[in-house]
Amino acid sequence: MKNRRSKSLFAVAVSAGLVVAACGSDEKKAADTTAATTAPTTAASTADTVAAGAGGSLAGICPDLITLQTDWMPEAEHGFVYNMIGDDFTMDAGQAFVTGSLIDATGADTGVDLQIRSGGSPQNFDPVSVIMYNKEDTFLGFVNTDEAIKNSATNPTVAIESGFNKNPQIIMWDPAVYPDVKTITDLGTEGVKIRYFDGGAYMDFLTSTGVLSKDQVDGSYSGDPNLYITDEGKAAQQGYGSAEPWLYEHEYTTWLKPVAYQYVDDLGWNPYAESIATKPENITTYAECFKVLVPIIQQSTVDYLTDPTRANVIINAAVASFGADFGWTYSPATLDYGVKTILADGLVANGPNDTIGNFDTDRVAELIVKAIPVFTAQDSPPKEGLTPEDIITTEFLDPTIGL
């Protein structure tokens, strides 16, 4: 789903004055890109007793190479998975992969490797759930709940950890041009033109519920900030709350003014973003793997928001290594802003029972009800009789891990 910010931010950023990140390693080592995703040959009888996120071997119960497909290029939103990459990481600049030992919360090697595969341009902007079926060696991937609903009949996935409790998607506007606009609903009342990536399900939801009108939304947005800048903020625009407000105020030199914004989540379209998902059959086949791996992911999320320093070194190195080759620039200052905003705005937060990575089943059920008519109108009807249990599971979460 085209929910992201830009298909070609490198070209855009040059004209807008964005500084290319130059820190990190320049070393470009080819990584082994073949994932062993065959069923494990042994089971871990002690998996249930492993300390949460703080140890336990994944060897023999997980693939030797755990591949994880993200939905975009390296950024703050992905920090919790980069935090699980060991210091032995290498870059495959040609494919935009980062590979290294998968480490636990103590920094110990778990006996398997983790390969983080960048999405967006390197994957021709394909949705992650589609990539997981087109590339059989993809073991895990970031799949938003609304994407899982949409593709439940054709490319089904089950999320094992919720990632973001609140979707970073925003609609932003110039408060100087529209001083009386305080919300997205106000944009609808004022009839303000809104640019967005065509096909965004949230926009169909907003127009079908009357928050916005179809004649005021423009699906031609391609991520180019110059459209917003050259018309002097007369049109509103989609973005990410963890990036665009900083970029426009501090890094786009032809603007350098604040923007106002509201999260789409506030209006009732509230998928879990950056959720880590897998194919349904893996839930049984790799159950022993997930019992150990998911608590490591949970603890890594907490640790990244507590101290992002080490993971941010890897993200900056990845951007420096292959970002420009795929039209992506992302400054260390933007990365720092992203982490702070993720925490301050509750984008990553505890779910039910104060557990990080948890799902609210009722919330997912409500989204399914809202999403079915939206996706059916897009000729992508979800699985008939879809339930939350078809697309999420809380089976492997450690309830004691939280912020």
Which of 368, 307, 303, 333 is closest to 147 using CA atoms? Answer: 368
C-beta separation of 26 from 320 below 8 A:
yes
Q: What is the pLDDT of residues 142-187, one digit of tens each?
A: 999 999 999 999 999 999 999 999 999 999 999 999 999 999 999 9
* Parallel/antiparallel/unpaired status of strands 236-240 and 169-173: antiparallel
CA dihedral 228, 235, 5, 251 (to 10 degrees): 40
Beta bridge partners of 67: 115
Tell me which of 352 and 191 has the higher pLDDT.
Answer: 191
Tell me how far apart the alpha carbons of residues 317 and 307 are, in angstroms, rounded to a whole number: 18
Does the pLDDT value for residue 39 go beyond 70?
A: no
At residue 220, the pLDDT reads 87
Question: What angle do the packed helices 201-208 and 361-377 form, to 10 degrees?
Answer: 90
Residue found under tokens 């939350």? 388
Residue found under tokens 């939905």? 71
Tell me which of 55 and 355 has the higher pLDDT.
Answer: 355
Count CA atoms within 13 Å of residue 357 on its CB side. Answer: 28
Q: Which two tokens stand for residue 56?
A: 């336990």
Q: What is the pLDDT of residues 289-316, one digit of tens each?
A: 999 999 999 999 999 999 999 999 999 9
Q: What is the total residue count of the chain? A: 403
Strand runs labelled E in 234-275: 236-240, 260-263
Q: What is the pLDDT of residues 195-251, one digit of tens each?
A: 998 888 899 999 999 999 999 999 988 778 999 999 999 999 999 999 999 999 999
Count CA atoms within 13 Å of residue 121 on its CB side. Answer: 22
* Parallel/antiparallel/unpaired status of strands 236-240 and 194-195: parallel
**Over the range 64-103, which residues count as b (16 or more CB within 10 Å of their CB) and which as e?**
bbbbbbbbbbbbbbbbbbbbbbbeebbbbbebbbbbbbbb
Q: What is the mean pLDDT of residues 45-60?
A: 62
Residue 299 DSSP SS3: helix
Lowest mean pLDDT among 37-46, 107-116, 298-307: 37-46
Q: What is the pLDDT of residues 63-75, one digit of tens each?
A: 999 999 999 999 9
C-beta separation of 392 from 361 below 8 A:
yes
User: What separation in angstroms does the CA of 283 have from each of 158, 293, 294, 326, 394?
Assistant: 8, 12, 12, 33, 11
Beta bridge partners of 173: 260
Tell me how far apart the alpha carbons of residues 351 and 316 are, in angstroms, rounded to a whole number: 29
Q: What is the mean pLDDT of residues 127-136?
A: 95
pTM, 2 dp: 0.86
At residue 15, the pLDDT reads 38
